[in-house]
């Protein structure tokens, strides 16, 4: 199968530096970057959100809305910085070899956004079938300013989403896959991804499983394209649409939608309950179907050599 071929484009890029780390080293690099980002990213965030005396710069309402936007940018910026430093000092390969080749970048980005929108529509639709309620959105409380705020949050997710993808699918999965086999790379990166989110508020066993499936889907998507432009855009738009546009909880954190806030009132096993859509069977179903579609298309694809990307749509 081309997805698991050792000559997949992402794995070829991982070998560019000629120094592939062992699994413990690759995991350690990921862990250190996560920890450093978690602490160092707070510093610029506090400078933006707090005055020198420690008091908030904005009203409580604005502060609570701006805080996740600022943290998305400041924390995840250290993912890029940390990987850039490691690649330059140890791996001796360029940052773009993490899956940021220029070829088809715009097309893959747009495609990722479209696929994320379709998958979110399917997930939300399945989740609200047993029951749904609506609450006022940000527009009802803040007026037209809400559109500007949600545009800023969308931009912040385009730092956060690709930031997580470059760490787990641009770095961790390919370097392990190039040395030990693609399946091992997919498994380890997906498990580490789910463990990194395991501390989220209200997470359940199904939520943890779905986060693992999230990682598997993201891995096969990246392998199918041979890069991370598409999955980075997908991740960003998926998160923004789920929380800031539709108003579902994300990783256990409540969100206010743009036009309205949607709450699935059916059984938690389907809707995800307080954890959000990613904690329910609706999300499980969509991820499994999406993975199956990519695998089937990869088997049917006969365009180009094994190292080339597979058309997802």
* Burial label, 181 (beta-carbon count in 10 A; 0-12, 13-18, 19+): middle
Which residue, among 280, 249, 265, 285, has the nearest Cα to 130 in the 3D structure?
265
Q: 313 in a domain, yes or no? A: no
Q: Please, are residues 228 and 167 in contact by the beta-carbon 8 Å criterion?
A: no
Q: CA 246, CA 240: separation in Å to the nearest integer?
A: 8
Closest by Cα among 253, 271, 239, 267 to 113 = 239
Give dist(CA 133, CA 153) in Å, integer.
24
Please tell me the distance from the alpha carbon of residue 256 to that of residue 246, in angstroms, as a whole number: 8
Token pair of 256 as six digits: 């206010």
The answer to whether position 77 is within a domain reads yes
Residue 106 is assigned to a structural domain of this protein: yes
Specify the number of domains making up the chain.
1
| DSSP per position, 235-248 | HHHHHHIIIIIT--
Task: Specify the pLDDT at position 305.
Answer: 46
Question: H or E element: which one contains 136?
Answer: strand 132-136
In a domain, residue 309? The reply is: no
> CB of 139 within 8 A of CB of 273?
no
In a domain, 138, yes or no: yes
Q: What is the pLDDT along the chain (313 residues), one digit of tens a residue?
A: 668 888 899 999 999 877 789 999 999 999 999 999 999 999 999 999 999 988 999 888 889 899 999 999 999 999 999 999 999 999 889 999 999 999 999 999 999 999 999 999 999 999 999 999 999 999 999 999 999 999 999 999 999 999 999 999 999 999 999 999 999 999 999 999 999 999 888 899 999 999 999 999 999 999 999 999 999 999 999 999 999 999 999 988 889 999 999 999 999 999 999 899 999 999 999 999 999 999 998 887 745 544 445 556 5
- Model pLDDT, residue 300: 78
Tell me the torsion sign for CA atoms 264, 266, 268, 272: negative
Contact 8, 2 (CB under 8 A): yes
Half-sphere exposure of 178 (CA within 13 A, CB side): 26
Answer yes or no: are the C-beta atoms of 306 and 7 closer than 8 Å. Answer: yes
At 308 the three-state DSSP class reads coil
The pLDDT assigned to 272 comes to: 93
In angstroms, the CA 245 to CA 137 distance is 9
Tell whether 178 is covered by a domain.
yes
pLDDT of residue 313: 53
The answer as to whether 310 is a domain residue is no
pTM summary value: 0.93
Name the burial class of residue 179, with classes exposed (0-12), middle (13-18) and buried (19+) by CB atoms within 10 angstroms of its CB: middle
**b/e burial code for range 246-255 (CB count within 10 A of at least 16 → b):** bbbbbbbeeb
Calpha distance 36→113 (Å, rounded): 29
**Containing structural domain, residue 233:** 2-300
How high is the pLDDT of residue 303? 53
Say if 312 falls within a structural domain: no
**pLDDT on residue 202:** 85
DSSP characters over 60-81: HHHHHHHHHHHHHHHHHHHHHH
Task: Measure the CA–CA gap between 290 and 68, rounded to whole angstroms.
Answer: 29
């Amino acid at each position: 199968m081309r997805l698991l071929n050792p000559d997949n484009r992402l794995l070829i890029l991982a070998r560019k530096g000629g120094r592939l780390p062992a699994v413990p080293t690759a995991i350690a690099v990921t862990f250190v970057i996560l920890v450093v980002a978690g602490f160092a990213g707070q510093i610029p965030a506090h400078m933006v959100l707090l005055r020198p005396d420690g008091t908030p710069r904005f009203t409580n309402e604005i502060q609570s809305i701006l805080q996740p936007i600022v943290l998305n940018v400041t924390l995840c910026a250290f993912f890029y910085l940390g990987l850039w430093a490691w690649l330059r000092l140890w791996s001796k390969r360029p940052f773009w070899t993490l899956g940021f080749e220029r070829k088809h970048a715009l097309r893959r980005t747009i495609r990722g956004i479209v696929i994320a929108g379709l998958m979110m529509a399917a997930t939300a639709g399945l989740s609200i079938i047993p029951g749904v309620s609506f609450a006022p959105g940000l527009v009802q409380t803040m007026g037209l300013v809400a559109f500007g705020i949600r545009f800023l949050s969308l931009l912040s997710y385009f730092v956060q989403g690709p930031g997580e993808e470059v760490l787990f699918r641009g770095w961790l999965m390919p370097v392990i896959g190039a040395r030990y086999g693609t399946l091992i790379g997919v498994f380890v990166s997906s498990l580490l991804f789910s463990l990194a989110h395991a501390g989220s508020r209200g997470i359940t066993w199904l939520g943890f499983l779905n986060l693992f499936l999230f990682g598997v889907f993201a891995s096969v998507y990246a392998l199918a394209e041979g890069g991370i432009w598409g999955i980075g855009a997908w991740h960003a738009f998926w998160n923004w649409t789920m929380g800031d546009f539709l108003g579902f909880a994300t990783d256990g954190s409540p969100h206010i939608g743009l036009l309205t806030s949607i709450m699935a009132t059916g059984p938690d096993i389907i809707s995800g309950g307080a954890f959000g859509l990613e904690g329910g069977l609706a999300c499980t179903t969509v991820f499994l179907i999406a993975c199956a579609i990519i695998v089937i298309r990869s088997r049917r694809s006969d365009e180009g050599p094994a190292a080339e990307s597979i058309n997802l749509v």
